[in-house]
Amino acid sequence: MNLAIENAKAMKGQTDPNPLVGAVIVNDNRIVGVGAHMKAGELHAEIHAIRMAGDHAAGGTIYVTLEPCSHHGRTGPCAEAIVKAGIKRVVIAALDPNPIVCGNGVAILENAGIEVLTGVCEEESRKMNEVFNQFIVEKKPFITLKSGITLDGKIATHTASSKWITSSEAREDVHKLRSEHMAILVGVGTVIHDDPELTSRIPNGRNPLRVILDSSLRIPLDAKVVNDQKAETWVFTGKAYDQEKKRMLNEKGITVFHTSTLQTDPREVVNILGENLISSMMIEGGGNVNASFLEHQLIDKVELYIAPKLVGGKNAPTFLEGVGAEQMSDAVELTDVSVAPIGKDFKFTGYPVYV
C-alpha cells in the first residue's frame, strides 16, 4: 500500500479534478503490476496495474489507495475489471467519497466473492486527496491561502518595498504549489502594482488558471496576465462593469464574469469556479482579498512562508487586513498545524475551523 500511495502522490497536480490513485498487484509474494491514475479522462490506476500484470493478476491481491469505481464514466468500472481479471483479494485504503461510487465498488467485489479489506493506510490516502474529497461532495473548490510574510505578519514595508521577503528556497516551493493548483487568485491591486505573470516557473510546471478580482474593471490592458497567453485569465467584476472594457478584454482572449453585486462577491466567484470544475485554487492576494475570503469562511487551508525578519511600522501592510475579529474569542483557530524549515524560513500549514 505504501508503494501504491507513493505512485499516486507522484501524479500530484496532473489528475484534477480527479483523485490521486495508485494500485499494486501482488501474486505469490511478487509484485506483478503497478499503476497510477495519471490524468482525468485517462485510465484508472487499477487498469494500468491489471494490464501490466496480464495473466499474473489471476489469484493475486490488489492494493489500491481508493475504492475501485463502480460507474461507467470516462473509463469502465474498475471493480468489474478486477473481478474479470480473477483477482482474489482487494485491499483498499479509503472508500471513494464520490456519491456515485461510495460503497458500490466494494459491493460489486464482495458480490463476486472477492475478499475485501478496507482502511489500510486510510489517513494517508484521505490526506493526499483532501482536494478531491471536498470537491466531489460539495462542488466547491478547495481553497488555500498562501502568503510570504515577515515574523510580524507584514507583506511589505511602509514604503511598499516587498522584494524579497522570503528566501529563494521558499519562493521555489511556491512555484511548485502553483503548479499543483488548478487556479490562482489575486486582486486587481496586485496586477496594477506588481504586474505579475502568476505562472509556475519550475521544470514541467503547470500554469494554473489566473483569476483576477476586479470590481470596477481597472485591469490594465497591457498587463502581462492579459497579454502573455501563458495561461488562461478570468476576470471577475461587479454588476456595474464597463461594457466597452469587457469587450476589449474579450478581444484579447480574457473571459470576464460578473457577480450580482457591486463589489465582486467572493462566494459567487467560488460557485462559478466550482461549476467550471476548478477543484483547487490558491489565493495569493493582498491583505484585503485574503481577509474577504476568510471572512466568508471560504479558506480551507493556510500556507504561510514565514521569514525570520521584523519590519514593523503601523502602515506596513499585513497579509490579513479587513476589519478583523472583534474579540479574541472570535479569532479563527487553525487545526492540524505543522511547521517545517525551508531555506532560512519556515513553512506553516494549518486548516481554519469555522464556528
Shortest Å, Cβ 9 to Zn ion: 18
Interacting residues with ligand AOF between 119 and 148 (CB under 6 A): 136
Cβ proximity of 175 and 305 under 8 Å: no
Angle, helices 2-9/45-53, rounded to nearest 10 degrees: 120
154 DSSP assignment: B
Going along 109-180, which residue ranges are E strands?
A: 115-118, 142-150
Q: Does 45 interact with ligand AOF (rule: CB under 6 A)?
A: yes
- Give the binding range for ligand AOF (CB under 6 A) out of 95-103, 143-151, 253-261, 299-307: 95-103
Cβ proximity of 291 and 153 under 8 Å: no
SS3 83: helix
Q: Does 287 interact with ligand AOF (rule: CB under 6 A)?
A: no
Q: Does 181 interact with ligand AOF (rule: CB under 6 A)?
A: no
Provide the CA 319 distance to its chain's centre, in angstroms: 20
Q: Does 7 interact with ligand AOF (rule: CB under 6 A)?
A: no
Active site residue 46: yes
User: Nearest 5°: CA angle at 149, between 197 and 169?
Assistant: 65
Q: Does 11 interact with ligand AOF (rule: CB under 6 A)?
A: no
User: What would the grid cell of residue 267 be?
Assistant: 462566494
Shortest Å, Cβ 198 to ligand AOF: 28
Q: How far apart are CA 303 and CA 271, in angstroms?
A: 23
Q: Does 69 interact with Zn ion (rule: CB under 5 A)?
A: yes
- Which lies closer to ligand AOF via its Cβ, residue 74 or residue 344? 74
Q: Give contact residues for ligand AOF (rule: CB under 6 A).
A: 18-19, 21, 37, 44-46, 66, 68-69, 73-75, 78, 96, 98, 101, 136
Q: Give the catalytic positions in this structure.
A: 46
Q: Give contact residues for Zn ion (rule: CB under 5 A).
A: 44, 69, 78
